[in-house]
Amino acid sequence: MPQLETELSLTPEPVQAVQAVRSSRRDRELGHPRYNLLTEYFPITRRQMKQYWRYLRRPVREGVPIELDIEATAAKMGRESILLEPVLMPPRCNQTDLVLIIDQEGSMVPFHDLSRQLVETAQRGGRLRQLHVFYFHDYPDEYLYRHPALLDAQPMSEILKGIGERAVVLIVSDGGAARGNFDQERIQSTKLWIEQLQQSVRYCAWLNPMPNECWQHTTAGEIARLLPMFEMSRQGMNAAISVLRGRYIAWERMYSWLL
């Protein structure tokens, strides 16, 4: 069987696994349903991420007047009884600046692909005025990093001065929930950092890739008392975007165990 062994060795391991499962099913004539390998993070797809990013809008008219102002033009025509020149107005532009602050390494390793999807969909489909992405590990201290490998450090004070008051901040981290840890030092350090952040920006929210039932008795559960935290799902991302838009969300009531 050397030829067969050579052919198998040239086939990628995932394909071999799928072929083996299919062959086994045929041999045993099982009536089990077929399954497809998914490339999307199950609770929310790339397409849904793009849709939610587009809800993050603060439209302001600015620039050269190029759009027809129908009401003003009709009023002008009524006053002058003749239309010599229409009234134009600047187009609406999204003035939202988003700051994504993403936890890396450690317990967040399984969610790195999810984090990349968030960044990519915000860049390509968010239609934001500006997007800033920074990284940290466990909890931010005096620095954040511009590279996901935690390279290119930038002082927190410098970042907060640069993003401006109009920016909104979305933090992505499991907050210790993935390992079920309760770390008082992490809670205190995160609290100080959040207080500093809230003094500089108006709206901020937290997305947690772990389901909310896993937050109890962990560091994440305590952090969730400090600012709106939502699980990474369609409902959770929608609620987080609503918070960043300035819409009130009774997020404490969503998780009764916080009270």
Structure tokens at 256: 């009764």
* pLDDT tens digit sequence for 78-109: 887 777 788 776 666 656 789 999 999 998 99
Q: Is residue 8 part of a domain?
A: no
The one-letter amino acid at 121: T
Residue 242, domain member (yes or no): yes
pLDDT band at 1 (very low <50, low <70, confident <90, very high): very low
What would the mean pLDDT of 112-141 be, rounded to a whole number? 88
Task: Flag whether pLDDT at 217 surpasses 80.
Answer: yes
**Which residues touch 193 (CB under 8 Å, ≥6 apart)?**
139, 140, 141, 156
Q: What is the mean pLDDT of residues 2-26?
A: 42
pLDDT, tens digit, 9 for 90 and up, residues 24-73:
444 444 444 554 445 555 688 888 998 888 888 765 666 677 667 778 77
Same domain, 216 and 186: yes
Domain boundaries, position 78: 64-92
DSSP annotation of 106 reads G
pLDDT in tens, 193-203: 999 888 888 89
Say yes or no: 68 and 155 in one domain: no
- Report d(CA 105, CA 145) in Å as an integer: 13
Do 80 and 203 fall within a single domain? no
Residue-level pLDDT at 141: 80
Q: Are residues 159 and 244 in the same domain?
A: yes
CATH of the domain at 212: 3.40.50
Find out whether 198 and 169 touch, Cβ atoms under 8 Å. Answer: no
84 located within any domain? yes
Which of the four pLDDT bands, split at 50, 70 and 90, describes residue 147? very high
- The answer on 81 and 165 residing in a single domain is no
Chain-centre distance for alpha carbon 26:
42
Q: Do 71 and 102 reside in the same domain of the chain?
A: no
Residues 124, 84, single domain; the answer is no
**Percent of the chain predicted with pLDDT > 90:** 34
Sign, CA torsion 229/232/235/237: positive
- For residue 251, pLDDT over 80 is answered with no
121 and 235 housed in the same domain: yes
Q: How far is CA 109 from CA 146, 209, 245, in A?
A: 17, 11, 29
Contact (CB, 8 A) for 169 and 201: yes
Which pLDDT score, from 0 to 100, does residue 151 have? Answer: 92
Give the pLDDT confidence score for residue 165 in this predicted structure. 73
- For residue 20, the model assigns a pLDDT of 37
- Which one is predicted more confidently, 188 or 5? 188
What is the rounded distance in angstroms from the CA atom of residue 203 to the CA atom of residue 218? 25
Q: d(Cα 212, Cα 236) in Å, to the nearest integer?
A: 10
Q: Are residues 146 and 215 in the same domain?
A: yes
Per-residue confidence (pLDDT) for residue 62, from 0 to 100: 67
If asked whether residues 112 and 169 sit together in one domain, one would say yes
Mean pLDDT of 105-127: 88
- For residue range 229-250, list pLDDT tens digits in order: 999 999 999 999 999 988 766 6
State how far the Cα of 256 lies from the Cα of 136, in Å rounded to an integer.
Answer: 29
Q: Among 25-39, 109-123, 124-138, 153-167, whose mean pLDDT is lowest?
A: 25-39
Percent of the chain with pLDDT over 70: 73
Examine the domain organization and report whether 74 and 180 are in the same domain. Answer: no
Query: Token pair of 193, please?
Result: 């950092």
Tally of structural domains, the chain: 2
Same domain, yes or no, for 68 and 139? no
Point out which residues pair with 143 in neighbouring strands: 155
